[in-house]
Structure 1
Amino acid sequence: MSVPRPSSVSSLTKERDSTISPLPQGKPFLRSGDAALAILDEDTQQRQITPEEDRRVLRKIDLWLLPVVLMVYFLQQLDKSSLSYTSVFGIIQETGLVGSQYSWLSSIVYVAQLIWQPVSSYLLVRLPVAKYLFVHVFMWGAVVACTASATNFKGLITSRFFLGLFEATVAPSFITITQMWWRRREQTMRLSMWMAMNGVTGMVGSLMSYGLGHIHGSLKPYQTIFLFIGLLTVVCSPIVLLVLPDSPTKAKFLTHDEKIIALERLRANNQGTETKVWKWEQVWDLMLDPKTYLWFLLLFVCAVPSGGIGAFGPLIIQGFGFDQFKTILFNIPFAAFQVVVTILSAYVSTKIKLKWPVIFGLTLPPIAGVSALLVLDHGPEMKNKLLGCYYVPMLYTWSSQNTAGHTKKTCTTGMVFVAQCAGNIVGPLLYRTQDKPFYRRGLISNLICWIALAVLTLMTAGYLAFQNRQHAVRRVSLGKTGKVLDTSLEKHVHDDANAGVRNDQSFHDLTDSQNEDFIFAL
């Protein structure tokens, strides 16, 4: 299945030209093009960037944006993980949870995200990203703080539903921000840095919960944890509004010349920055693109074990024979290992300019670890071996770097996070508190998912390679060079003309299917 394309070069040109209308000054302008066109003069020669300018502007972008992105993702993971911390401090007993009620407290967050994700995808195109994100950060912090007042299943599941609703926009917003600020080579490490905050949250959150759990006052330990974490998010939320720009064209910390440099750095991505025009033809492109369904399956089979272990991980460790305080502390080495593996994987992927071998390799330790957990005994003498098998890395996909067209990018991000939500809904439900300490049903399901992930990774890499060959044929038919260098994956910004590629449609808001200059990252 593929996206219908014009049957000839002339019809393709006619289709593109139909979107162009003259400004009063007579200057051609792509009416529904990228916001970058307000800064870049498409009639003049492309600005050539020196390595010094490249490093200077990149450093400025990193110092201004990364701390905010990392802070928000840390807070989001901390708030979401608060339930697993409170599970060790008796929330199940204190609130009278029975059967699969605890599992539903984890799953309901993703049910809410599943509901809100399509709406969020549309609003991310239409509204300023930073301001939209600020409202959600503030609201979910307030919800977590209010969760401290819940004393039964009804109160807890209501607050967890609204937590999921407000958290639904975080990861899609960050994908959008990453695509509009960094080159594809740089995106891998930046994405991994904010994803590594999962591990940082695990370390800090475990220590924080360990300390809060020792507080003996009028509030129960689980209430203290919810209240403290929620208020921390509320206090930090204004930083998003005050520091984070909505796009490179609106960044007050950059001069006009630095904005040009920042935008020209992105030209080789062929992904543009943003446009506030919702384009239904790009939604149609998305639905007919086989990659969409590969991304969906990759995220789903990855999220099922992630969701299950995320909710029941502390309980699995507790089942090894540790008390509640040691259980919390034993989460820290796993979290630290997660940070190391995530950053190291990103470094290797950037170095070899390939993602699929790294992702495939990361599926092997979980397969081995879960297999061992199913075979080994759970007696006290097996604590260390069981603990070592539980420490397996989580993975992430490379879908954001292989999608262009602002509406399509946003919808693809929404689609993969719908898959993640669905997996995180299913994952915890495969574990039941009565199955402790073995949790065989959940672990067998995880094993199946990780094997499927390995197979799907190979299939996706093969399809992307096929798409690159198809685009090369199209470039030749249009009089361009067939085999070109993907300069977006090079260490420094290149002169695209000398690399054999023109990239003159980078800011025309074309999808990856429409733009023959787009090169898919393997």
Structure 2
Amino acid sequence: MPVAELEKNFDQKDITSRSEEKFSPVSDHPRTDSDSGSELDLNGDDALRLVGKERTVEFSEEFNRKLRRKLDIMIIPLAAAVYFTQYLDKTSLNYASIMGLPITGQHYNLVALAFYIGFLAFEFPTVYLSQKSGRVGKYLGMNIVIWGALLMLHAVGTSFGAFFTLRVLLGMCESCTAPSLILIVSMFYKKDEQASRISWFYVMNGLTRIFGGFVAYGVSFSDNPHIAPYKIIYILLGGLAIFVGLAVVTWMPDSPMTARFLTEEERIACLERVRNDQGGVANKSIKKEQIIEAFTDIRTWLIVLSLMLTNIPNGLSSFSNLVIEGFGYTSRQTLILSTPVGAVESICTLFCGWYSDRKNERMVPVVFAMVPAIIGASILVGLNHAGKKGALLFAIYLVGTMGSSLSTIYAYNASNTSGYTKKSTVNAMSLVTFAVGNIVGSEIFLPQDAPDYIPGKTTILVLLSTQLGVSFLLRWVNLRLNKKKISQLEELKRSKGWSDADVQKERERHAFMDLTDKENIYFVYTA
């Protein structure tokens, strides 16, 4: 239905006409942007087919508030269920390690890193397959169903080879999770809403530590001679993943243009909400020039470095129970005592997400997450032989805050990268770094260093301290780029004789041209 016709049917108290001028989709009426002197990219965003280059309707604040609530009710619970399931599945090995798992010593380390080998190998292919399909939600859901089946197969295999292979395949399937959810959030939510929404589902990483610890504790009392406790864990978690995957296939939207739970006017309103952010929505075409820009953007490599510095320490997630057990606790005590780590991470994640959107900051919340973790790592190293189990346990809880930094970095990518192919590429590079960091991280806690693991704890302390400097550097780069864009825009206004209204009109026309953040002078970086 054309927008002009929709305007007549909309409730006038919710929508007011901004312009009588009709728009024409770019695909039907290509034209040159004579004002800016450059030819607009005719292979623009898929959103152009629905809303065109120029804003033709204005939606009231009440209408947008109701729409946002509708998005929150549908998208966020599904995303939270995905992350809840994924983190349980990924860390199932941590629980199994003290519940009769037949894989021990160096073989355990290799099985722990096998997940990230699969994750690393399939990250770029899975991101581009998702983009080409144009069905981000469905693609994600099918991967979840497959990894649920793989997880249940962990209860069958008992050899090192079987576990290693299954963990590689599990990593391949789970590699699409974060990129898919980050893209979905960036499609449906404004920049100043993205960090909090990502934190709302990323908080599941912390909550699963609580849930998983208590479930594993309960299962540990099983005395069934026919099935080991670790096998029960794998069967339960695999079945849960299949259920969540089917729910995602059924209800998770692929984009605002095709979301079945939205009416046509709500789809248009959804696109108009994000127009000023200049981030675009979706494009199935993989653009080589955007891939090149992603790899040559200094900010991409600073993000890569940032993720490396935070994900090598994240290797502790696979060894935290062994570390706590090394303090002198029993296996069952360890399962219970490890759960507060999840509570600490959850609280920190929600606070960082709230602060990030409230203050329009991305890197400062990362620093907030790093400082307690650095203090915790210092205690682990300094009090290692002091015999103070309570202080060492408290230190483990403090180190748990570092996990919340990842959700803010993901929000950084969603808010600070434009051009669909570039955004997909940066997301893929981020998750490849996540995998590499965790592969390295799984090797800093070596069997010969048990039970103290001093080299691993010292590595965490050094890397997290370095991350503080990288965060401030990345923030400075973004602010500097914004100043440069403001200067360029002011010069363009003077040379063209534009008013502020003219600038706003041009900003709206560029929103869905699938331009990168560097190409689009109207794109503003979030520090």
TM beyond 0.5? yes
C-alpha distance in 2, partners of 1:208/1:160?
21
C-alpha distance in 2, partners of 1:445/1:401?
31
Aligned position for 1:170: 177
**Unaligned regions of 5+ residues in structure 2, if any?**
1-23, 33-39
Cα drift, residue 78 of structure 1: 0.7
Aligned position for 2:353: 346
C-alpha distance in 2, partners of 1:187/1:282?
23
Deviations 1:268-327 (A, max 9, x none): 2111110111100101111211111001000111000012x1111011111111111110
1:125 and 2:131 matched: yes
Indicate conservation of the 8 Å contact 1:403/1:511, yes or no. yes
Aligned position for 1:458: 472
1:34 is matched with which residue: 22, 39, 45?
Answer: 45
- Map 1:149-228 to 2 at 5 A: 149-217=156-224, 218-228=226-236
Aligned position for 2:70: 60
Aligned position for 2:433: 419
Aligned position for 1:518: 523
C-alpha distance in 1, partners of 2:466/2:430?
17
Aligned position for 2:243: 235
Distance 1:111 1:42, change over 3 A: same
C-alpha distance in 2, partners of 1:507/1:24?
15
C-alpha distance in 1, partners of 2:495/2:140?
42
C-alpha distance in 1, partners of 2:495/2:482?
13
State the percentage of identical aligned residues. Answer: 30
Distance 1:24 1:346, change over 3 A: closer
Aligned position for 2:116: 110
C-alpha distance in 2, partners of 1:197/1:480?
50
1:265 is matched with which residue: 258, 266, 273?
Answer: 273
- Map 1:14-53 to 2 at 5 A: 23=27, 31-42=42-53, 45-53=55-63
Indicate conservation of the 8 Å contact 1:320/1:378, yes or no. no
**Unaligned regions of 5+ residues in structure 1, if any?**
1-19, 483-494
Deviations 1:399-451 (A, max 9, x none): 32110000000000000111111100000101012312210110111111101
Indicate conservation of the 8 Å contact 2:25/2:49, yes or no. no
Q: What SS does structure 2 have at the residue aligned with 1:237?
A: helix
Cα drift, residue 124 of structure 1: 2.1
Cα drift, residue 481 of structure 1: 11
Cα drift, residue 21 of structure 1: 9.8
1:478 and 2:461 matched: no
Equivalent residue letter for 1:234: I
Deviations 1:37-56 (A, max 9, x none): 1210335x442221101101
Aligned position for 1:310: 317
Q: What SS does structure 2 have at the residue aligned with 1:48?
A: strand
C-alpha distance in 1, partners of 2:349/2:282?
28
Report the TM-score, using the length of structure 2 for normalisation: 0.88
C-alpha distance in 2, partners of 1:378/1:206?
27
C-alpha distance in 1, partners of 2:356/2:198?
12
Aligned position for 1:319: 326
Deviations 1:138-161 (A, max 9, x none): 111100100111112111111111
- Map 1:135-154 to 2 at 5 A: 135-154=142-161
C-alpha distance in 1, partners of 2:327/2:87?
25
Distance 1:385 1:49, change over 3 A: same
Distance 1:73 1:481, change over 3 A: farther
1:295 and 2:303 matched: yes
C-alpha distance in 1, partners of 2:262/2:383?
57
C-alpha distance in 1, partners of 2:30/2:49?
15
Distance 1:257 1:430, change over 3 A: same
Distance 1:229 1:42, change over 3 A: same
C-alpha distance in 2, partners of 1:460/1:25?
40
1:69 and 2:75 matched: no
Indicate conservation of the 8 Å contact 2:30/2:42, yes or no. no
Cα drift, residue 502 of structure 1: 3.1
Equivalent residue letter for 2:107: Q
- Map 1:424-443 to 2 at 5 A: 424-443=438-457
Q: How many residues align?
A: 484
Runs of 4+ in 1 over 6 A off after TM superposition: 25-29, 495-501
C-alpha distance in 1, partners of 2:128/2:501?
33
Distance 1:459 1:23, change over 3 A: closer
CA RMSD of aligned residues (A): 2.2
2:395 is matched with which residue: 376, 384, 389?
Answer: 389
Report the TM-score, using the length of structure 1 for normalisation: 0.89
Q: What SS does structure 2 have at the residue aligned with 1:248?
A: coil
